[in-house]
Amino acid sequence: MTRYTIAVDDSDATEAAVAWLAETVDPRLDVVRVISVPELVGDLPSTAERRLVETRSVLLRHHPRLSVTTSLVDGGTVRGILGGAATGDVLVIGGRQRRRLLASLHGRVAERVVAGAATPVIVVPEERVEHGGPVVVGVDSRSGAGALAYAGAFAARWHRELVLVRAWQSPSTTTPFGAVYFEGDLSAWARTADLQLAAALHAVDAAYPEVSALGRARRGSAARVLLHESASASLVVVGRRHGSAVGGLLAGSVGESVMHDAHVPVLVVPPTSVSPADPSRPTHLARRTD
């Protein structure tokens, strides 16, 4: 069973997030908690309560037997969302893309939630494009374990192919004259990426032998490579390296970069997350690399 928490407001991004959850949730396996936070300025508890009722109605219209509860939470928008999602398995929020300046003026809520969440967060873009393609997961040596676990679980549940992507670049340093790249032995860096990818494929194969998994090592920045791979994906999964909101906000993250530009949902998995409960599993599939 997956315990989804979805945070709702009056934005188009929330509408996209609710629509995605209604398409994705399985009333036999999942429960949903809908939360809303009255804004500090220009909002009333009655408005937030209306959002809760409307969201619950949408979900039940799609799945009359789905277990849906609602909660009005306080403490400020970000703190309220994080507190309200603490008892769930996955938090779902909408991601504003068209009005980034407006989102920034409102405190970059999605980014702050992702940076501070103790549970995985699925950010659904307001301009979501529906694909029936694979689950794409970014692989690296520091944040890959949790991301792999969730990517494998969703791929198994949805009967989708799983694409493991290892982006790599030659090391560089910044000088007063510009960036200097050390490309003396590109084959060594490529070989390291291939080894890490092979290890990740082995781990996925052991945990989800029925899932078709293929690996792709690509030269380039992680964000750029994942955005390219997301073109036909149904979900992009990335690990969050930073264990705190401060670390994530100061240093930025691949997840934040991808969720700004991808047109598919992006699942960001914090470093302390463990694999979710294993849902229904598909028929036999093969593993391969390319």
| pTM of the predicted protein model | 0.84
> Do β-strands 172-175 and 178-181 pair in parallel, antiparallel, or remain unpaired?
antiparallel
| 266-269 sheet: strands from edge to edge | 67-72, 30-36, 2-7, 90-95, 121-125, 266-269, 235-239, 135-138, 162-168, 213-219
Each residue of 242-274: b (16+ CB within 10 Å) or e?
Answer: beebeebbeeebbbbbbbbebbbbbbbbbeebe
Burial class (CB in 10 A: 0-12, 13-18, 19+), 13: buried
Burial (Cβ within 10 Å: 0-12, 13-18, ≥19) of residue 288 = exposed
Residue with tokens 């340093």: 173
Q: Output the tens digit of pLDDT for each of the chain's 290 residues.
A: 899 999 998 888 999 999 999 999 999 999 999 999 886 445 667 888 999 999 999 999 999 999 999 999 987 888 999 999 999 999 999 988 665 555 444 447 888 899 899 999 999 998 888 878 999 999 987 667 889 999 999 999 999 999 999 998 766 556 666 655 555 567 777 888 899 999 999 999 999 999 999 999 999 888 999 999 999 999 999 998 765 444 444 334 787 788 888 999 999 999 866 555 444 333 333 344 45
Residue partners of 161: CB distance under 8 A and separation at least 6:
133, 134, 135, 155, 211, 212, 213, 214, 285
Tokens linked to 198? 């092979």
147's tokens: 């991301």
CATH number corresponding to 135-269: 3.40.50.620
Amino acid at 25: V
- List the domain boundaries for the chain: 2-125, 135-269
Check for a shared fold between 2-125 and 135-269. Answer: yes
Strand-pairing partners, residue 91, are 5, 121
DSSP strand pairing (67-72 vs 90-95): unpaired
Is residue 137 a contact partner of residue 255, using CB atoms and an 8 Å limit? no
In terms of CATH architecture, what is 2-125?
A: 3-Layer(aba) Sandwich (3.40)
